[in-house]
Amino acid sequence: MPEIILAGAGVSPPEVQRLRVTVRGAVQGVGYRPFVYRLAAELALPGWVSNTAGGVFIEVEGTPQRLGEFLLRVQQERPPRAAVHSLEAVYLDPAGFTGFAIRESDAGGEKTVLILPDIAVCPDCLRELFDPADRRFRYPFINCTNCGPRFSIIEALPYDRPNTTMRRFALCDDCRAEYEDPRDRRFHAQPIACPVCGPRLALWDRDGRGREVGDAALRQAAVAIRAGAIVALKGLGGFQLLVDARSEEAVQRLRRLKHREEKPFALMYPSLELVRDHCRLSAVEAQLLQSPEAPIVLLRRRTPAAVAPGIAPGNPRLGIMLPYTPLHHLLMADLGFPIVATSGNLAEEPIVTDEHEALVRLGGMADLFLVHDRPIARHVDDSVARVVLDRPLLLRRARGYAPLPVPVPGAPLEDAPVLLAVGGHLKNTIALVTNGQAFVSQHIGTLETQPALEAFERVIVDFGRLYEARPDVVACDAHPDYLSTQFAERTGRRVVKVQHHYAHVLSCMAEHELAAPVLGVSWDGSGDGMDGTVWGGEFLQVTRDGFRRVASFRRFPLPGGEQAVQQPRRAAVGLLFTIFGDALFAMEELAPVVACSPTERQVLRQMLVRGVNTPWCSSVGRLFDVVAALLGLRQRCSFEGQAAMELEFLLDGVGTADAYDLPIVEDRSDGSALLQLDWEPLIRAILRDVRDGTPAPLISARFHNSLVEGIAAAARRAGEERVVLTGGCFQNAYLTERTVERLRQEGFRPYWHQRVPPNDGGLALGQIAAVLRAEAPRGVGVHSTCPPFDGPSNAGHMEATSEEG
């Protein structure tokens, strides 16, 4: 492969980028466009603003710093009568604007009726909620046209009250007068309600016996939490389990009952001020916490934090959200301290939405149930975000974001077939393309339990019904054992199997509206390589009509397959066996060897020698596991990605540019010219460092830096200017930030995820993009290529795979 020198290699100037902002809400006829114009002029940012039925669209170009300032101010300084229901921002390549234009209103707007996400309670309603003179004083279901439930109560379109779960509540005269008055803030507010006519709270014990109703129920629940009880709260999109976050005893009891050993718990704080006291908070993070989307944000804690150690053991960050429903506001105002607010489910099961089901499924966990009689139409978990390089990065896309459409490059025309993508196995989401827009579902979860699988099927039926779309083509992962893949094959539709890491790359490309060619760096725990091995450390060159695997990590065996995913010691033994052979099992100074009993060593040795149940992998996620095991950090995981997370935790405050050697060699073993990143020198250096007593944080930093250098070196060999960073490994902020900096220094243009998760939650979007790419040359929209619903499926015969075959 020719080595190419890119122009401008060296220190890169601040790069000009384009920021696109989509603002939905009451932003028409309130002076929003002139406001945007003035702000852009003040910051000297060229671009344009336009007003459509789908919202206000803004594009501006400038340095990242100026764009960041624009984005903060557009949210903070909006015109007084404007109410923002949703604001989505995405950074794209510059288009070369000169001057700033207010474009004429576009009457077309978005083609499909938009279902808005649930919106955090607005300042006006909040004022009324705490005003003793207001008729909705302390009413936990207060809302208006600018806030309140949407996605979680809609049962059908159009969005009218009879099509929501509010239909059972007949409006009282006062509410009706507001609903019908065009000058009222509640004009046509579909979920409008008040204490006279709307939903009511009740507090139940474990047997479903009523203890209190109305405000007394809420106050009693607060008393119980204060006393250390576990309260199950029927929230917006499902149940949450609440305990006092200051009480280690309550937190440990919740862990025991929820079968959640170590995975961090999310917290809800009563105020931004208290969050600031406990965590370091950037302007972007503060804005994100207070946004209408109100996600859980991973924040760096100040030490010592004033919450129980069992909340997030060993983790320098806390996942924190602010109250977003009136019910949460009332409860948090009564409590005045942070609480655990974790999803109401057993580990790996979907969140519970119905109060009677909650008694059964959460009965063993919760002491009390704070419930209400407004049905939840569908589950919607809390979203999770972190800020990377001053931009939000969604790790779980659900409440506040789903089901807003994501633009797909080359999206089909209105007469195109309907596409369904069923995602992967972990962190599953699905996506539906209809009328030229891609709707990515809310987070569903790992498809491991029967309830999770049922939730998955429910969401598919739900999306089809909401958008009145019957899929013609179903895209899925290429892994034959994924339940999502098996579901796709059962549909009888035409099935397109998409290689896992290719889907990751396409998902990130779709976010950035990038066309080929790009180099995709697709790193995660594991995905089916379609060549009998497990992939996970891939460099994929995306070409006009497919992809080519240009580089990967040297492979190593995983004795026990899936068991090796849960036990880093097994991955370590597998890798070390390829270096040391039988001698390994006598190396008692190695933590992963000591972590195995003599019998276990014997079993592992047999598996490795005979190759029984021992797949080979090129996974960076597993390499993280190996290093964590060598450092004695973790030999067994209680949740996915735990060892890698703990290696990242170690980095807090470590500053070093040192890296181990991670050479790229050419592997001709299978006749291809695949480049390989050889981990052996790196592993040998880590073994030396461990023996010499080098502090673990320093080893972790050197390991991370080697990966960054490995990406830079592979990018130089591939010679593509645009490099896309995707896959679960890029949830790691250190890895992402360092890689972006390093690639920029070398003159490359790096891209990373923003609104769609880098983890498997983003696969469905990538699968959609794969189908559109594969079919584009033949003309998407040719119905004759699709067999009828009941016809035979061609599972496995479609492409969207590697050119290498």
Interface residues with Zn ion (CB under 5 A) are: 122, 125, 144, 146-147, 172, 175, 194, 196-197, 524, 760
Cβ atoms 398, 760 nearer than 8 A: no
Put residue 766 in one of left, alpha, beta given phi > 0 → left and psi -120 to 50 → alpha.
alpha
Bond prior to 304 in cis (omega within 30° of 0): yes
The H-or-E segment that residue 393 falls in is strand 391-396
CB-nearer residue toward Zn ion: 188 or 246: 188
- Report how far residue 500's alpha carbon sits from residue 522's, in angstroms, rounded to the nearest whole number: 9
**CB of residue 612 vs Zn ion: minimum separation in angstroms?**
26
- Give, to the nearest 10 degrees, the angle between helix 64-76 and helix 283-290: 40
Please return the burial class of 661, using the count of CB atoms within 10 Å of its CB with bins 0-12, 13-18 and 19+. Answer: middle
Q: What is the DSSP letter of 120?
A: P
Q: What is the DSSP letter of 561?
A: T
CB-nearer residue toward Zn ion: 467 or 730: 730
CB-nearer residue toward Zn ion: 39 or 521: 521
Q: Where are the beta strands (DSSP E) in 516-602?
A: 518-528, 534-543, 546-553, 556-557
CB-nearer residue toward Zn ion: 197 or 257: 197
**CB of residue 616 vs Zn ion: minimum separation in angstroms?**
18
Name the token pair of 772.
């559109």
CB-nearer residue toward Zn ion: 479 or 722: 479
CB-nearer residue toward Zn ion: 149 or 405: 149
CB-nearer residue toward Zn ion: 174 or 457: 174
**CB of residue 499 vs Zn ion: minimum separation in angstroms?**
11
CB-nearer residue toward Zn ion: 709 or 760: 760
Q: What are phi and psi of 784, to 5 degrees?
A: -65, -15
Q: Where are the beta strands (DSSP E) in 317-367?
A: 317-321, 339-343
**CB of residue 125 vs Zn ion: minimum separation in angstroms?**
3
Sign of CA dihedral 682, 683, 689, 693: positive
CB-nearer residue toward Zn ion: 70 or 523: 523
Placement of tokens 């099509």 in the chain: 163
The H-or-E segment that residue 711 falls in is helix 696-718
Cβ atoms 109, 33 nearer than 8 A: no
CB-nearer residue toward Zn ion: 437 or 726: 726
**CB of residue 171 vs Zn ion: minimum separation in angstroms?**
6
Please return the burial class of 589, using the count of CB atoms within 10 Å of its CB with bins 0-12, 13-18 and 19+. Answer: exposed
CB-nearer residue toward Zn ion: 418 or 763: 763
Q: Where are the beta strands (DSSP E) in 66-215?
A: 83-92, 100-102, 201-205, 210-213
CB-nearer residue toward Zn ion: 285 or 524: 524
**CB of residue 134 vs Zn ion: minimum separation in angstroms?**
12
**CB of residue 111 vs Zn ion: minimum separation in angstroms?**
28
Buried/exposed code over 458-491 (b: 16+ C-beta within 10 A; e: otherwise):
ebbebbbebbebebbbbbbbbbeebbbbbbbbeb
**CB of residue 174 vs Zn ion: minimum separation in angstroms?**
5
**CB of residue 731 vs Zn ion: minimum separation in angstroms?**
11
- Report how far residue 128's alpha carbon sits from residue 138's, in angstroms, rounded to the nearest whole number: 8
**CB of residue 404 vs Zn ion: minimum separation in angstroms?**
20
CB-nearer residue toward Zn ion: 381 or 524: 524
- Report how far residue 185's alpha carbon sits from residue 718's, in angstroms, rounded to the nearest whole number: 57
Residue by residue, DSSP assigns 445-475 as B-TTSHHHHHHHHHHHHHHHHHTT---SEEE
Name the token pair of 552.
């990967």
Cβ atoms 63, 16 nearer than 8 A: yes
**CB of residue 169 vs Zn ion: minimum separation in angstroms?**
8
**CB of residue 166 vs Zn ion: minimum separation in angstroms?**
11
**CB of residue 543 vs Zn ion: minimum separation in angstroms?**
21
Pairing mode, if any, of strands 384-388 and 296-301?
parallel
